[in-house]
Amino acid sequence: MSAPDPRDVGLKQDMDLRKDLDATVRTRRELGEEYDSALVDSFLERVEQRIDDVTDRRVRRHLAEQQLAAARGSRRPKDADTWAERHGFALITLVLAIPLSAIAGALAGITGIVAGWIGIVGVNAVQAVRLNPELLAGRRARDRSDGSGQDR
């Protein structure tokens, strides 16, 4: 059996239900046994209503959490609207690649230039995947569908 839900504490300590139970017991003492079933039915209706309210609240909360999780999971970065927004990052990195190549070549020769360009290509690849997550998702789905990794 699982641990009690901390949200159930409110139901167990519901002062209104305690007051209703006390009132029902006092009323039973005053009226006698002939009203037992009516008093018990009345009290059970109030308990049932309280349970329904708590259950409805939990179901609504759970559905809201699921919708929020689904919305967060399917959220995609804002699509770029203009040519500059789509290609600006790549252009900036290419412009900065000129002095980076000169510095890397002067300090480390061809190895520095290759390392610098690997970094430039890597940064642009990460940016492309960030803006278009389906670039990787489409390839993974294609790899799973035919097992070969090649388009048919």
- Report the predicted TM-score, pTM, of the whole model to 2 decimal places: 0.39
Q: For 106-135, what is the mean pLDDT? A: 88
Distance CA 113, CA 118 (A): 9
Q: How far apart are the first and last CA of the chain?
A: 52
Average pLDDT (99-125) is 91
Q: What is the dihedral of CA 29, 30, 36, 41, to 10 degrees?
A: -110
pLDDT tens, position by position, 20-49: 888 888 888 888 888 888 888 888 888 888
Q: How does pLDDT run across 125-134, given as a tens digit for each residue? A: 888 888 777 7
Domain limits, the chain: 8-74, 83-146
